[in-house]
Structure 1
């Protein structure tokens, strides 16, 4: 409760002036860095190489475009990967910008979901062939169920032990009402499983909240008159602070909404509780949260002269939104698309779509 009170006081002080919500950019410097900033490092390692086995031999596995990553909540050395195998998203994939050309491209015949041992690179399990059309988002809930989005199908799926147990949205039907999506990008669930949040998406500028059975509760979007979300691309929950935060990709910012009051169906200023941005973060593709050390991780894409970078922000109540560090691989990022943090907070993984690889990092302190 003490952290929550401090956060609310901080937000009330820095985010509201004359009744209007606003945000500041937080840039750390050597003159005001504390001990956490000085000793904290993210160290790039070699990209993760995956090894597949058959009856006769072992061989390196060739990834497709890596659209989604999720770390196991039970094993710090286990990673789930959602990739596009032989499928590539190009100008012909969505001829009208919304509808996937399923007649031309069809379903992906190869396995699209991998479970990997991050210490050895060994593929433990793989499945998802003849199931997906354009894979995108992936998350894991507290029971290690997989949640996936397919932007071609305009749908969200929950899988338990490889079996589909819940579907949201109508197959290949785009929409913006309470039962349809338009190219949904990501999905996350509350720790108790009672709430589902969907980032929707490439066509819609909103977050949609459902109960555990898929019943619509409400949606979040920017207040009227404010810059709307432009491709909400990645989503997390910070339950301690009652925040649901989204990577607002093309605006280059992270927007955090108040997820407490389900009775309030209006899109007013009370919904937006914090906005984090930085001059180097021209776009932001993915975010993840370390609840133990109160850190928010983000990765940007290339934009003009700005190269893609990883960012670590503080979400301590007294320094919410302050930049702690930037980081990148030794040979720079190509086109990062998603990131995930191991359950022990010691390893970061970034999935890229060009080149098709998974970057690996050690988190020190």
Structure 2
């Protein structure tokens, strides 16, 4: 037997064959996991410096709501110079300047503005599948549906009148629109309930009472609907996300240090969930604020951002949205700005 033959005989012993088969199985399993992993597991995010482009001296004021349409345009609901008073008594005097600003998601340029002399204390903003814009005003106690270009289509609630029946709200926070056009309202700061309406605005049912048990709320601050029709609620003061079926039956909750205090959330196409953790807002800094990236099973995969006022930091992450290009937009209501984060797949 020559040297080359001896090497071949060593290379293909039964033990070596078993080792090679095991290695191949491990490699295949790894590839399979990668093929089914979510963006939450594979992607990190970095801030897009210089986005948006505002005229010199322009200040949006508190950014209370935002969303992105199918074309990647970013709709921002903001308060200009109106601030939430320490007295907690909200003025119903309309804000003179435009309160809805639409940005080009790619360049950050302002495309249009509307909502001047209309809203008193802007809060939630949602863009539905048709491109219509849903807004809530916690001072005027109303919910609105607008066309993409700012024409009023529907108003629910009585201007400036709080109530707990099926035709009134008490500081409603957000709207979520289901695939069939029906919609949910998180109501809100004082009524601690979720209300469901038909596409035409007819009240259907509600659920929720004050408390910390499943199905109870302490400031339901946001409401979202996923592709399966499940309803996600940011139960802010209970520091958790609650999940329900379309009829309001409790399914699960997400809670923990990684989740933080959910102010808003956005659901990606693959089911990953991005949660704006607004922090605990102590009387004196420092605080905690950032974005929790959560897998569909509720596991916190990672977080980005922290408390502060530099790029990529937040004083209070209040609202969040995801664009069709996977860019993540975060509204900082105390920092009075919106920031764009883009996927960095090279990390």
Q: Please give the range of the TM-score, normalised by the shorter of the 2 chains.
A: 0.7 to 0.9
Cα distance change of structure 1 residues 296 and 38 upon mapping to structure 2, 3 Å threshold: closer
Equivalent residues in 2 for 1:1-365, closer than 5 Å: 35=34, 36=37, 39-46=42-49, 48-52=51-55, 59=56, 61-73=58-70, 75-76=71-72, 78-92=73-87, 94-95=88-89, 100-102=90-92, 106-160=93-147, 161-193=149-181, 195-221=182-208, 226=213, 228-240=216-228, 242-259=229-246, 261=247, 271-290=249-268, 292-303=269-280, 307-315=288-296, 320-328=297-305, 332-344=313-325, 346-364=326-344
Could you report, residue by residue, the CA deviation over 1:201-226 in whole angstroms, capped at 9, with x for unpaired residues? 00011110000111111112269882
Kindly tell me the number of residue pairs found equivalent between the two proteins. 299
Q: Give the Å deviation of 1:190.
A: 1.2
Contact 2:221 2:233 in 1 (8 A): yes
Distance 1:64 1:38 in 2: 34
Could you report, residue by residue, the CA deviation over 1:229-258 in whole angstroms, capped at 9, with x for unpaired residues? 111111110132x31111111111111111
Bigger Rg, structure 1 or 2 = 2
TM-score (norm 2): 0.81
Q: Which runs of 5+ in 2 are unaligned?
A: 1-32
Could you report, residue by residue, the CA deviation over 1:91-139 in whole angstroms, capped at 9, with x for unpaired residues? 14x33xxxx333xxx2100000111113222111011100000000000
Root mean square deviation, CA, Å: 2.1
Distance 1:146 1:39 in 2: 32
Q: Give the Å deviation of 1:302.
A: 2.2
TM-score (norm 1): 0.77
Contact 1:49 1:60 in 2 (8 A): no
Report the more deviating stretch, 59-68 or 35-44.
35-44
Q: Which runs of 5+ in 1 are unaligned?
A: 1-33, 53-58, 262-266
Distance 2:331 2:78 in 1: 9
SS in 1 for 2:166: coil
